[in-house]
Amino acid sequence: MTEMVYGAVPVRDGEPILPKWWRTIDKWSMSCVLILFCVGLLLGLAASPPLAAKNGFEAFHYVQRQALFGTFALIAMLITSMMSPTLVRRLAVLGFVAAFVALALLPFFGTDFGKGAVRWYGLGFASVQPSEFLKPGFVVVAAWMMAASADLNGPPGKTWSFVLCISIVLMLALQPDFGQACLVLFGWGVMYFIAGAPMVLLVGMAALAVLGGTIAYANSEHFARRIDGFLSADVDPTTQLGYATNAIQEGGFFGVGVGEGQVKWSLPDAHTDFIIAVAAEEYGLILVLVIIALYASVVVRSLMRLVRERDPFIRLAGTGLACMLGVQAMINMGVAVRLLPAKGMTLPFVSYGGSSVIASGIAVGMLLAFTRTRPQGEISDLLSRGRSR
């Protein structure tokens, strides 16, 4: 790492890739992600047949597709996690540029699938949501800029990354996709926080976020409707939230039984945004708590591993990726239990969605690459202790 920063010639590592990968990877987090993916397939079996029936496919059409995309995602995750942080950074920057252009061109070539927001590219066999791929790329780019700004004579990376962040947020808000916009803003904020943001600024930013939300509420009907639905004490029985709440209540501790759930027939987004409601109804509180624990352990474990990280870029990028994953999961589940206003946000790995699951795979691959065990100069720390420089 030191060599990388100073641009010295990299020394080729003598150890073969796989054994080293296995020795240094965070096996617990990886297991959690694999389990989450399996849970996603299991819930897909429950949640997607109604959609398949509606679209005239055989019952498990979407499960098969999810398994296919999931395999791609897992492969992408494994390959990414084997890369060195430098390689990850280089590829991520390239990917970010591609995704950024794709996002910018969305208004001209994108489609809205009749959902009121232009977020996708229809590719015939699948649809791609560029913002899903943009998020991890942006985290890496922003982390790179912030880390560079910390150097002597470094570029003003924090400002650059902020400008980049705001431009992305604006593009997303115009789609409109306030969920992803919030996520990007949040990711940048977390990295800035870790990179040593002054406290005054953090408070100011929180105020700005509130202000922005208010303006969005006042000017966007799409946004206002969802906030209103959240704020009103009554659940309209025919809204998605009403059905989701009812499903969670029906489920109780152990669920109504596999395949016995009803909510998937009523909710148009049962296989994506409200998959947690399907989980709660059919498998009960138990499975929901397991899912929450899995996400929490991935996020918290990664953060704890990054505490010891010496390289600022890796620390920042890892933090950004872990927090984005955690917050996305939290928002999705928070909406279903009415802690948060309704937003279209998928549950990473669990929700159905080709580009979502592949993008999540790449993001977690990067996270795993960043949290791998590597020498952190413990010996030099020991030696330097007491030595005055």
Partner 1 sequence: MIRTPLRPLARILDARDKGENPDAIERENIRIRHEQMRDQARQRAEGRLLVLGMFFVVAFSVVGLRMGLLATSEPQEPRVDGPGAQIHAARADIVDRHGSLLATNFDTHALYAQPPQMIDPVHAAQELAKIFPDLDAAELLEDFTGTRKFLWIKRKLSPEQMQAVHEIGDPGLLFATRDMRLYPNGQLAAHVLGGASFGKEGVTAAEVIGVAGVEKYFDDYLRDPANGSKPLQLSLDLTVQAAAEQVLYGGMKLMNAKGATSILMDVHTGEVVSVVSLPTFDPNKRPQPAVSGAASDSPLFNRSVQGVYELGSTFKIFTVAQAMDLGLVTPETIIDTKGPLRWGRHRIRDFRHYGNEMSVTKVIVKSSNIGTARLAQEIGVERQRAFLGKLGMLETTGFEIVEAATGRPLLPPNWSELSTMTISYGHGLSTSPMHLAAGYAAIANGGYKVQPTILKTENPPKGERVFSEASSKASMRMLRQVVTEGTASFGEVAGYAVAGKTGTADKPGSRGGYYEDKVIATFASVFPAHDPKYVLIVTLDEPVETTGDEPRRTAGWTAVPVAAEMIRRVAPLLGLRPTVEPLAVSDIKLTSN
DSSP letter, residue 235: P
Contact with partner 1 (CB under 8 A) among 107, 122, 237, 257: 237
Contact with partner 1 (CB under 8 A) among 14, 124, 238, 386: 238
Our CB check for partner 1 shows the closer of 112 and 236 to be 236
Closest CB 196 distance from partner 1, rounded Å: 6
Residue with tokens 């590597």: 374
Distance CA 199, CA 357 (A): 36
- Of residues 255-314, which lie at the interface with partner 1 (CB under 8 A)? 280, 284-285, 288-289, 292-293, 295-296, 299-300, 303-304, 306-307, 309-310, 312
Contact with partner 1 (CB under 8 A) among 251, 261, 344, 365: 251
Distance CA 32, CA 46 (A): 21
337 binds partner 1 (CB under 8 A): yes
Which stretch, 19-27, 176-184, 190-198, 219-227, contacts partner 1 (CB under 8 A)?
190-198
Total residues interacting with partner 1, rule: CB under 8 A = 55
For residue 66, the one-letter residue type is Q
For residue 295, the one-letter residue type is Y
Task: For residue 278, give both structure tokens.
Answer: 């399907």
52 binds partner 1 (CB under 8 A): no
212 binds partner 1 (CB under 8 A): no
Closest CB 279 distance from partner 1, rounded Å: 10
Contact with partner 1 (CB under 8 A) among 185, 190, 368, 369: 190
Which stretch, 24-32, 46-54, 101-109, 237-245, contacts partner 1 (CB under 8 A)?
237-245
51 binds partner 1 (CB under 8 A): no
- Crossing angle of helices 130-149 and 178-194, in 10° steps, is 20
Distance CA 95, CA 100 (A): 8
Our CB check for partner 1 shows the closer of 107 and 377 to be 377
Distance CA 363, CA 303 (A): 15
Which stretch, 47-55, 101-109, 328-336, 354-362, contacts partner 1 (CB under 8 A)?
328-336
Contact with partner 1 (CB under 8 A) among 10, 116, 122, 196: 196
Residue with tokens 């969802």: 226
324 binds partner 1 (CB under 8 A): no
Distance CA 288, CA 279 (A): 7
Distance CA 62, CA 58 (A): 9
Bridge partner residues of 16 (DSSP): none
152 binds partner 1 (CB under 8 A): yes
DSSP letter, residue 128: E
**Phi, psi for 343 (deg, rounded to 5):** -145, 150
Task: For residue 231, give both structure tokens.
Answer: 């704020």
Q: Counting Cβ atoms within 10 Å, is residue 272 exposed (0-12), middle (13-18) or buried (19+)?
A: buried
Q: Are 188 and 319 in contact (CB under 8 A)?
A: no
315 binds partner 1 (CB under 8 A): yes
Closest CB 389 distance from partner 1, rounded Å: 6
Distance CA 373, CA 140 (A): 19
Three-state secondary structure call for residue 122? strand
Our CB check for partner 1 shows the closer of 58 and 381 to be 381
Closest CB 124 distance from partner 1, rounded Å: 30
Site of interaction with partner 1 (CB under 8 A): 5-6, 150-152, 190, 193-196, 233-238, 242-243, 245-246, 248-253, 280, 284-285, 288-289, 292-293, 295-296, 299-300, 303-304, 306-307, 309-310, 312, 315, 319, 323, 326, 330, 333-334, 337-339, 389
